[in-house]
Amino acid sequence: MATLVTGIGLVGTSFAQEALKRGERLVFFDFQPRLEFLKRKLGEAKVDVIQKDIRDLPALVQAMKDHNVDTVVHTAGLIGARVAESLYSGLQINVIGTINVGEAVRLTGVKRLVHISTLSVYNRRLEGSTPISEDFPRGDGFPYGNSKVAKELMLEAYQNLYGFELIILRLANVFGLGHFWGGSGGGEKIQTLLEKGLRGEVARIPQEQTMSFEYVYAKDVGRAIDLAATVPLPAKTVFNIGNGQVLTFDELTAAVRRVLPTLRVEIIPGRPSHLSVKQPLDNSQAKQFLSWEPRFTMESAFEDYLEELKQS
């Protein structure tokens, strides 16, 4: 048996690092696999890589059959502003690609699908002052958030009708050593701050990335996904995965300066972000049903991240 991971990005490879520790056989499915990045994250570990598009349903079905897949971790898709660059194509990749994953799971009898979602599904126009739980209203009216809501709804419909196991993880902004092709502006921002600070250079950050936000370290995320893929099916199946703290941009840079005191930052003028988070995620459901909570603080995550940057 094997686990198929859609997408060779930060989230998928962080899960793979955990899954390989328990000897899991892994198959990556990506239309443009970044093999150098995969090696950077997994070293010489033996994994299979299939270069196909998530919109290719027959290829997904064949991959699951050929590799005797019983678990799928679905991470593939565009993030943030990348969805709106060409809305039709962005929705095709995110929504139709996800429908294909659900259909392939149905056709091949996969036991469990772990779907990677985001804190951006929540309708922040309704924010109050308490942490956001998993039953908070969805849909913020913007391309990325709405596409992620649609992905959840489509998979919920598939699961209700066909009965496979579905676990949804709604992640805060994931940061860690990555390539950020998919469009994670927040992840790229933190990597820029750390890389430039390490080199003694000025970190130039677009104004639209200076919003208040909640973050979570990739290694904590990898552990959460591995738990979601392996625990007996819990009574609850939708989980927030964050660090429980919203940081302003000034608080974020201050946290970086605690490990890189000479960091210099320049803001590139532009449009402000449409999103500035006020409420953190409530992680209590993940703690209760997955036995997961973050192990890294922002500072300890930055220290670990810097060690990876120095070695790469």
Determine how many CB atoms are found less than 10 A away from the CB of residue 269.
6
Q: Is 144 an active-site residue?
A: yes
Kindly compute the dihedral angle of the four CA atoms of residues 40, 5, 189, 291, in this order, to the nearest 10 degrees.
-100
Helices (H), the chain: 10-21, 35-42, 57-66, 81-85, 87-91, 97-108, 143-162, 185-199, 218-230, 249-257, 284-290, 298-311
Buried b / exposed e over 232-251, threshold 16 CB at 10 Å, is: eebeebbbbbbbbebbebee
CA 138, chain centre distance (Å): 18
DSSP string for 127-158: --SSPBPTTS-B--SSHHHHHHHHHHHHHHHH
How far apart are the C-alpha atoms of 181 and 308, rounded to whole Å? 19
One of 122, 144, 215, 217 is an active-site residue; which one?
Answer: 144
Scan for tokens 């990348």, then name that residue.
Answer: 82
| Catalytic machinery residues | 144
